[in-house]
Structure formats: C-alpha cells, structure tokens
A and B are shown apart, each in its own frame.
Chain A
Amino acid sequence: MSTLFGSSIKRREDPRLITGKGTFVDDVSLAGMVYAGILRSPYAHAKIKKIDATAARGLSGVLAVYTGADLTDALIPVPCAWNLPNADLKLPPHPHLAVEKVRYVGDGVAMVIAESRAIVRDALDLIDVDYEPLKAVVNPEAALKPGAPVLHADVAGNQAFKWVVAGGDADGAFAKAEVKVALTIKQNRLLPTAMEPRAAVASYNAGTGQLTLWATSQNPHIHRFLCSVMLKLPEHRVRIISPDVGGGFGSKIPAYADEALVAFASMKLGRPVKWTEDRSENYKATIHGRDHVQYVELCGTKAGQITGIRTTVYAGLGAYASTAGPGVPTILHGLMYSGAYTIPNIHGTIYGAYTTTTPVDAYRGAGRPEATYLIERLVDTFARELGADPVEVRRKNFIPQDKFPYTVATGITYDSGNYEGTLDKALGMLDYKGFRAEQAKALKQGRFLGVGVCTYTEICGLGPSQVAGAIGFGGGLYDSAIVRVYPTGMVRVYIGTKPHGQGEETTFAQIVADEFGYPVESVEIVSGDTDNTPQGWGTYGSRTTAVGGTAVKIAAQRVKEKAKKLAAHLLEANERDLEWKDGKFMVRGSPDKAKGFAELALMANVAWNMPAGLEPGLEATAFFDPSNFVYPFGAHLCTVEVDAETGQVKILRYIAVDDCGNVINPMIVDGQVHGGVIQGIGEALQEIAIYDDDGQLLTGTMMDYAVPKASQMPHLELARTVTPSPVNPMGVKGVGETGTIAAAATVVNAVCDALAPLGIRHIDKPLTPATVWAAIQRAKGGAA
C-alpha cells in the first residue's frame, strides 16, 4: 500500500478558501451585534491635554465612548510574555488606551461602540482631542543616546534591555586576527501585511459568565490565557475561537489591546461587539518586523578560516514591548551567530530600545533573518577581502557532516546537517563556474552580473518547554493532539497548533490516514477553538509539524495500539501474532482472519464485546515536548544583472536547495519555500516602512509600501536534500521561514557581487533603483 506521507496531494483547505467559502472572523455575525472603532493618535509622541467625546456620545446610534481613564481599574495593562532574563529588562505599562500620553502614530486613544460601522466612523470623527506634541525618536540607536526624548518615565534612556551572547574569547580572537572585516547594517523595518487584517468579535454571556472571543490568532491558547489576565476573567470562562485565518507571518501571535477592548465593551454593554481593522489601521496598529541597526565584524586567517564574530546591535522594540518582542532580537537572533560554520569565538551585545513607533515583534523568520543576513554578508565581505571565492570560504568553515549533533559557541546544539550536500546541489543546478565566466565576459562589455550565495541554518521547531522556561518565554513549547475515531470510523483530530495558511489540514491528515490505512478524506483536522482543542502553544517558529505534527502522530499510534488490542480479542488471537497489513490487523499467516480499522472503530464505540480491562471508545490524546529544536538548512543562489544607468536589479535565476528533513507533502513544502523566498526578495529589493523624524509613518498604505507583486518575481528553481532530524520520530524539520531567512542575504550578496568591480562593498536593503543608483554614483565619485 502506498503511503500518503511524502506524496504531493493537493491542499484540502484550498477549495474552501479560494471559492469564498471560508469563515473568517469578519464573517461571524451575531444577533444584536454592535461595532467598535478605535480612535488612533496622529502624533508619534504627545501629551493628551483633553479628550472631548460629548458630540460623539450624543450621536444617534452610539452606545458608548471609552477613553483610557475608563479602563485603568477595569483592565490589566497589555502584558509582554517574553520575560528575557539576565538583561535588565524594563517593561513599562502598556495601557489599552493611552493615558496622559500617546507614544506612536496609531496608539489607541478612544473606542466608540455603535449600532453600525458607519456610525462608528462618524462618531470617531466627532471626538475632539487636544494634544501637546512632544519630540519623537524613531531610530533605535538614537533613542539610547543622552538627550533623546524619553517615552516612559520609568525607563531612563529608553533602554528596554541589554543582552549579551558570548562563547569562546572573541576579543582575544580579534586581537590576534590576521584579517578583520566590519560592516554597518540597517535591517529595514517591515510591515507583515497578512492578507486578512486583524479582527475580533466578542460575546459575553452575563448568565454563565463566559466570554467567547473570535479572534485572528496564530495561538488561541496563548490568547485565552493573556485575555483572561487582561480582562480579570477566570481562564476557564474564556473561549477563543480562531476560525480561518488569512495569514499572520507572526503578526497574529501577540496579544493586542484592541481584542481585549472589544471583549471589555461586550462585557460592559451586554451586546456582541465586532471590530475589524482596515489596511491603513493594520499598518499602524499591527506589529512591524526587523528594525535593527547592526555594527558587526568578523575575523579570520589569511587562509580563510573564520575565528570570531562580534556584534553590537540596536533593536527597535517600538513604543511598548509586544508579546514576544524582547525574545526576537535576542534568543532567536544572537544564539544563531555561528550560522552554518564552526566559529569558535562569538560575542554579541544587543540593546533593545523603545522608540515612538509601532511595536516590533516576530515577522517571518523573527530574528533569524537578521542573524543570517549579517553572517552571510560578513562571510562574503571576508572572502572579498581575501580575494577568495565566497563558495570556497563557506566550504572551509562549514560544520562537517560527521560532527552532528554539533554544539556551537553560543551554546545551542544543531541536530543534524549536511551543508556541503545542499551547496553542491545548488552549484550544480546553476553551473557556478559557467556563470563566473559569463560574468567576467559581461563585465568587459560594461555589464554588471553577480551571483549571491547564502548557506544558512536556522533554529525552529520551538521547542523544548524546559528551554522555554529558562529563556523567559511565558509559556510551554510542547504541543498536543486528540485523535477521535467515530463509530463509523471517521476521524477528527483536534490540535493545539493553529494553521493559518501552512496546509496542516492536509499534512496532518496524511499522517493520521497513513497510520490507519485510510484515504485522507476520512480524517478531518480541527484547530482554533480553545473549548475543543487540547492545550497547545500555536503556530509560529516553524514548529507546527515538528512539534504539533509529532503529537498527532503519537496520538494516532495510541489509538492504533488500542485498536490492535481489540482486534486480537475479536480475532481470538494473541496480540503478538497480529500484523498490520493493507490497512488491517491480520493474524500472521491467516489473511482471512483480519479486522479493518473502520470495523474496529465501530466495535470500540459500541463496546458490545470489549476485552477485560479495555475501556470503550477509540480516542487518544498526546502531548509532545521535543528534546531539542530542529535546524533546517540549505544553500540559496541567485544571479542578477544590475543596470548601472538606472540602478534597477534584475534577478536572472533564483535557486533554493533546502533540507527540512523528511517531507510529508513536497508540494506544500515547495509552496512554503515560494512564499518565504518571495517575502525575502521583497525585503531585499523593495519593502521598507519609513518613519520621518517626527515619527510619522510615511508608508501607511499599499500604494506606498511595496509588497512584492507576482509580475516582479522570478521563477524559483527548488530542490531538496533529506537529512532527517533525530529530534522527533518523523524526522521532520520546519520549513515555514527558511525562504525568508535565506533570500534577503542571497539577493544582496548577488548585487554586491555584481557591483564589486566598482569598489562597492555593501549597500543597505532594500535595493531600490534609487538606492543602487546612488551607491553607483558615489562609487564613481559623482554627485548623488
């Protein structure tokens, strides 16, 4: 019997999603429902002198207007859930609506509840707020300088934390080094831009004291806990339902003020309340990503051996610490400074800074793209300094295949890897030598071709709960599944993770159907409702398959073990004499004595003839806590031509060879790589959220913020190698973020390679035509 594991069946969720039959939060409509809208600050930093809501309250159809003063006793401030240890972390209160001061453009100032969306809009326009503007600070390095405007009275100098990662003796290595290179890197601030903005529908039942909150969440159980804290409700009376979710990329991990505000209004007014973000609001009020200023250096030998890396990084957290904000530029970033290499001496100092900007949190890759980028840019710069081939320098420094599991200088242990394998495969696909010859020929004609290499590894499959506790993550990182077999043999699987585009309705069904000898149609995956799914920690950090999928696998195996006991009883055979073949338990050597899974499901559920000691029913729950993270890796290559007259970058070829361990569904893995690479190319070439010096967001619409368009993107040539992970029984790793982690470095390396003949060492992304043109003009000594 062929297995579903490893087969490219089509995503089962797609017909629903692409024909408008999905159910998103905004599709939820309840009797008596009213609408919420939030008035947001037009200033980055200002004192609130007066809020006059008289006219808004007087408008027909308005039920209530709330301001910060109405909430201080009713709600616990928005919590940060990553209590980074050993970093002198400062977490100033984050009120649901601003009290006394606003701290970014988009900070909530008042909430209107009204009978219709139109009345909400009209009422918001009638609220008169007197502000006294204060000085803004948008750059994380500038925010820490003496004299910078202070956001929070109790956080002197705006410093949220100072966190150090160290291994070996970096200063010693640099003192002795034969070769040193340094770069200053700006990690452009990015807007996650999920297709579906955030939304919430809250319905409080005063009779039962139960709050039901439909919310756009990647992690409903985390939202249940954080909402119970903010709203002072017992956790068992909070039910979060996260139905179809139109993408998140990290932006639907955090607990925001808005969802809790909507719940608060429902509790106050006894009516269901709906709130839906529009795109302009999403760009201001939903978290942003990246935003580092990085001073980085690498040292090594003339022979090309890397001996040390040192960094000083200023990470912008925005105006408040978002749910996972402090962990992203530290744990998920600094611990990865060894990349795919044996670098014995590492030292990084990361400063977290409060700035008068939208809070920054996890965005696809979350800290790891910022690490991969700085390492891969440094390795290229090192190779250039040596006059060596960047491919050969990488090869020389790779962690060898026979050294895994391998503990790097930052203290984490990579599970498995074969870095040369992905690199060789990618080089073969490109014909690297051939391209180098073509590049040299083109240069003679005055054309600038370049090839970029990135050999990344990343940490995902988050992760062991014991580690989560040690690094201050405010929750566990195991995950869970209930496999429930109905009397007719049909199966539902209730999971603690929350897929929102990654295809687990398909891949998890493949796992279970394989286990039971079923067609995939007999298995349904249920996620998102905290009232029927077991405690889990959600979908982020490429953990859903490696952790949640393993729980599914284990629960299915438990069900099957029970079915086997029942089969032995019904067949009057010893369990040891049974074998599983062609979807049936059969007595070895007597293929006519067999019981299929569906029949066993019926017999278990009616319980007419159970063996002694075996309970009726056929279901099992599993919680899986991995022993380690998983570390996917790969080699991405990109060739470009840069038009020196216009600065336009054209991607000629993009090759991605990834290794994410065993693959359940190759088509879905390809889809994840496609999306990730495209987002990484967007980051490299065109995406940047720009604040002016007054803290005004100048890229507040999709006309101004350049999300990649299909017509701009190259054909992606994908391939894989398979190095199973020893961390989980399926040997799988994560693949949701690898594309984004690798692509930005790959593309920028290619452009810098193309422009190296002009003496250009580094250009900060995004490499828009204007930026590249200006760099070329500067290199030529022209006025730009």
Chain B
Amino acid sequence: MKLQFSGSPDIPEPRAKVWARLMDPQAVGRAAPGVESLEVIDATHFKAVAAVGVGAIKLRLTVNITVSDLVEPERAAMLMEGKAPGSQIQVQTGLRLEELGSMLTRLHWQAEATVSGAVASVGARLLEGTARKMAERFWIDFAAGGAARPL
C-alpha cells in the first residue's frame, strides 16, 4: 500500500547550517525513529538498522539509504529501502530548504511510502496513523536539532 505524507517545519537556523546538518548522516540518523546503527558507505550511500512497531508488529529493518539530486543548499532526494522478515518498506522523500530569513529556514518535505507484506496486511488499519506520526516526528526532531538522542 502507498502512503503519502508531507510537512514543513520551521528551523531557527541559517539555511547553510541546516544544509550541513542534512548532509550529516549521523545528524539525520539521530532524528530517525528507532535507528540502532548507521553505517556510512560513501557520501551518498548509507546503511541503517532500525526497529519500528506498528500495532502488534515489531519490525527490525535493514535499510539501504541513497541520497540523490543534491542541489546545495536547496534540495535533495532520499530513497530508503527497508527489509524485514515478511515485510518491505520503501520511502521516497523529497526535501527542500526555503530561506525565510538569516536565522530562519523552512524544511519542506514530502514522502511516499510503499509498504508490502505482513505489515500491510496486519497493520493496515493502524499503518497510516503510525507511519504519519513517525514521518512527522522524524522531521520535527531533525528540525529541533535531534541532539537529545545519541546514536
């Protein structure tokens, strides 16, 4: 099943600084829900292990992340392909940084998730709500700096 979410939190930081943080896999990883480990393969390829829960289903996903379409300091795209036993989740995210002021940046994000397997059939009723919450939390945490949770 396909799910679409979007948001545009404001960040009280200069755009260049937000961009730098966006390009820092550890900073992004800290904000991402349930990330247990993050491995940097090269500048645009990362591998993460993340544990998430949807209703009764607990998934431990191995996630391949590819960053593309980089236009500094304005936009980027990110493809996350997660695999767990019996389930697969793919999330395509588009990001745009809008400069609202010298100390204010708006982070526009939109994500399309494709969910397959057990998590779709068991969690379908809960999935939309849970996934929306997780996606929004991800970017709100990122916007807030995400420093609270060390990896």
Does B134 touch A at the CB level, under 8 Å?
Answer: no
* B116, A697: Cβ atoms closer than 8 Å: no
Judging by beta carbons under 8 Å apart, are B1 and A105 in contact? Answer: no
A615 proximal to B (CB < 8 A): no
Interface string of A32-45 (1 = CB under 8 A from B): 00000000111110
Do B86 and A40 touch (CB < 8 A)? Answer: yes
Q: Which of B2, B88, B125 contacts A42 (CB 8 A)?
A: B88
* Interface pair B1/A692, CB less than 8 Å apart: yes
A131 contact set on B, CB distance < 8 A? 88
Task: Specify which of A40, A125, A694, A704 is in contact with B1 (CB 8 Å cutoff).
Answer: A694
Determine the chain A residues whose CB is within 8 A of the CB of B111 once the complex forms.
Answer: none
Q: Please indicate the chain A residues that have their CB under 8 angstroms from the CB of B1 in the complex.
A: 692, 694, 696, 698
CB interface residues, A 37-84, toward B, < 8 Å? 40-44
Q: Is the CB of A42 within 8 A of B118?
A: yes
Contact size class for B? Answer: 10 to 19
Listed A/B pairs (5) with beta-carbon separation below 8 Å: A124-B85, A128-B83, A694-B114, A696-B117, A704-B125
Verify B124–A42 contact, CB threshold 8 A.
Answer: no
Query: Which residues from A are CB-within-8-Å of B114?
Result: 133, 694
Cα separation A703 to B57 with both chains bound (whole Å): 13
The reply to whether the CB of B121 lies closer than 8 angstroms to some CB of chain A is yes
Query: Which A residue's beta carbon lies closest to that of B117?
Result: A42
In the complex formed, the residue of B with least CB distance to A131 is B88
Q: How far is the CB of B59 from chain A (nearest CB, A)?
A: 11
Measured between beta carbons, the chain B residues less than 8 angstroms from A692 are: 1-2, 120
The distance in angstroms between the C-alpha atoms of A697 and B120, with both chains bound, is 7
Q: Are the C-beta atoms of B2 and A105 separated by less than 8 Å?
A: no
Encoded as 1 (CB less than 8 Å from any A CB) or 0, chain B from 96 to 125 comes to 000000000000000000111110111011
Residues of B within 8 A of A699 (CB): 121, 124
The interface residues of chain B lying within 8 Å CB-to-CB of A701 are 121-122
Chain B residues near A700: list those with CB within 8 A: 118, 120-122, 124
Contacts of B86 in A (CB 8 A): 40, 42
* Contact between chains at A697 and B85 (CB < 8 Å): no
Using a CB–CB distance below 8 Å, which chain A residues touch chain B?
Answer: 40-44, 105, 124-125, 128, 131, 133, 280, 283-284, 692-694, 696-701, 703-704
Greatest chain B CB density within 10 A among A131, A693, A698 is at A698
Given that A42-B116, A698-B1 are contacting pairs, would A105 and B121 also be in contact in the complex, using a CB cutoff of 8 Å? yes
What's the minimum C-beta distance from A690 to chain B, rounded to whole angstroms? 8
A697 cross-chain contacts in B, Cβ below 8 A: 120-121
* Closest A-B pairs by Cβ, 9 of them: A700-B121, A42-B117, A125-B85, A696-B120, A698-B124, A42-B116, A692-B1, A697-B121, A696-B1
Q: How far is the CB of B62 from chain A (nearest CB, A)?
A: 9
Compute how far the CA of A82 lies from the CA of B114 in the bound complex, rounded to whole angstroms. 37
B121 touching A698 by the CB < 8 A rule?
Answer: yes
Contacts of B118 in A (CB 8 A): 42, 280, 700
- B130 to chain A minimum Cβ distance, whole angstroms, is 15
Which residues of chain A have C-beta atoms less than 8 A from B4's C-beta? none
CA distance A283 to B117 in the complex (A): 12
A105 touching B116 in the complex, CB below 8 Å, given contacts A42-B86, A131-B88 = yes
B2 to chain A, nearest CB (A): 7
Which residues of chain A are within 8 angstroms of B92 by Cβ–Cβ distance? none
Q: Which residues on B sit within 8 Å (CB–CB) of A43?
A: 88, 116-117
Q: Which of B112-149 contact A (CB under 8 A)?
A: 114-118, 120-122, 124-125
Rounded to whole angstroms, the CA-CA distance of A699 and B125 in the bound complex is 9
User: Complex formed: what's the CA distance from A283 to B124 in Å?
Assistant: 14
B87 at the interface (CB under 8 A from A): yes
B121 touches A280 (CB 8 A): yes
A266 to chain B, nearest CB (A): 25
Q: Specify which chain A residues have a CB less than 8 angstroms from the CB of B125 in the assembled complex.
A: 703-704
Taking CB atoms, residues of chain B closer than 8 Å to A284 are 121
Q: Is the CB of B115 within 8 A of A696?
A: yes
For B83, what are the chain A residues with a Cβ–Cβ distance below 8 Å? 128
Interchain CA distance A694-B115 in the complex, whole Å: 9
With a cutoff of 8 Å between Cβ atoms, the chain A residues found around residue B116 in the complex are: 42-44, 105, 133, 694, 696
Query: Bound complex: CA of A133 vs CA of B88, how far in Å?
Result: 11
Residues in chain B near residue A128, CB distance under 8 A: 83
**Which residues of B are found within 8 Å of A280, using beta-carbon distances?**
118, 121-122
Cβ B117 vs Cβ A105 within 8 A: yes
Q: Which residue of A lies closest to B115 (CB)?
A: A696
A698 to B115, alpha carbons, bound, how many Å? 11
CB distance from B42 to the nearest CB of A (A): 21
B residues near A703, Cβ cutoff 8 Å: 125
Within the complex, the shortest CB–CB distance from B18 to chain A, in Å, comes to: 33
Flag B75-94 by CB within 8 Å of A: 1 or 0 each.
00000000101111000000
| Residues 42-62 of B at the A interface (beta carbon under 8 Å) | none
Tell me the smallest distance from the CB of A72 to a CB of chain B, in Å.
Answer: 25
**How long is the Cα–Cα vector from A704 to B115 in the complex, in angstroms?**
17
**How far, in Å, is A689 (CB) from chain B's closest CB?**
10
Q: Are B88 and A698 in contact (CB under 8 A)?
A: no
Q: Across the interface, which residues of A come within 8 angstroms of B115, CB to CB?
A: 696
Bound: A280/B119 CA distance, A: 11
A666 to B124, CA, bound (A): 43
Cβ B121 vs Cβ A283 within 8 A: yes
Q: Across the interface, which residues of B come within 8 angstroms of A41, CB to CB?
A: 117
A693, B115: Cα distance in complex, Å: 12
Residue of B nearest to A121 (CB): B85
Report the separation of the CA atoms of residues A271 and B122 in the bound assembly, to the nearest whole angstrom: 34
- Cβ of A120 to closest chain B Cβ, rounded Å: 12
* Across-interface contacts of A698 in B (CB, < 8 A): 1, 120-121, 124
Q: How far is the CA of A127 from the CA of B46 in the complex (A)?
A: 22
CB distance from A166 to the nearest CB of B (A): 41
* Inter-chain contact B121/A696, CB cutoff 8 Å: yes
Within 8 A of A (CB), among B16-55: none
Residue among A44, A124, A697 with most chain B CB within 10 A: A697
What is the CA–CA distance of A133 and B122 in the complex, to the nearest angstrom?
20
Give the nearest-CB partner of B116 in chain A: A42
Q: How far is the CB of A700 from chain B (nearest CB, A)?
A: 2
Instruction: Supply 18 further A-B pairs (C-beta < 8 A) apart from A280-B121, A700-B118, A704-B125.
Output: A42-B87, A42-B116, A42-B117, A44-B116, A105-B117, A124-B85, A125-B85, A280-B118, A280-B122, A283-B121, A692-B1, A692-B120, A694-B1, A694-B114, A696-B117, A698-B124, A700-B120, A701-B122
Q: Which of chain B's residues has its CB closest to A128's CB?
A: B83
> In the bound complex, what is the Cα–Cα distance between A125 and B59 (angstroms)?
11
Enumerate chain B residues within 8 angstroms of A40, measured Cβ to Cβ.
86
Interface centre among B2, B120, B125 (most CB of A within 10 A): B120
A692 CA to B88 CA, complexed, in Å: 15
- Residues in A with CB closer than 8 Å to B122 are 280, 700-701, 704
Smallest Cβ-Cβ distance to B62: which chain A residue: A128
Q: Which of A42, A128, A703 neighbours the largest number of chain B CB atoms within 10 Å of its CB?
A: A42
| Residues on the B chain within 8 Å of A696, using CB | 1, 115-117, 120-121, 124
Residue of B nearest to A690 (CB): B124
Question: A696–B117 Cα gap in the complex (Å)?
Answer: 7
Contact residues in A for B87 (Cβ distance below 8 Å):
42
Q: Nearest CB to that of A129 among chain B residues? A: B83
Residue of B nearest to A703 (CB): B125
Please report the C-alpha to C-alpha distance between residue A284 and residue B87 in the assembled complex, in whole angstroms. 14
Question: In the complex, what residue of chain A is closest to B127 when comparing beta carbons?
Answer: A698
Q: What residues of B have a CB within 8 angstroms of the CB of A44 in the complex? A: 116
Nearest to A697 among chain B residues (CB) is: B121
Q: What residues of chain A lie closer than 8 Å to B85, measured between beta carbons?
A: 124-125
Complex CA distance for A304 and B59, rounded to whole angstroms: 61
Give the Cβ gap from A400 to chain B, nearest Cβ, in Å: 51
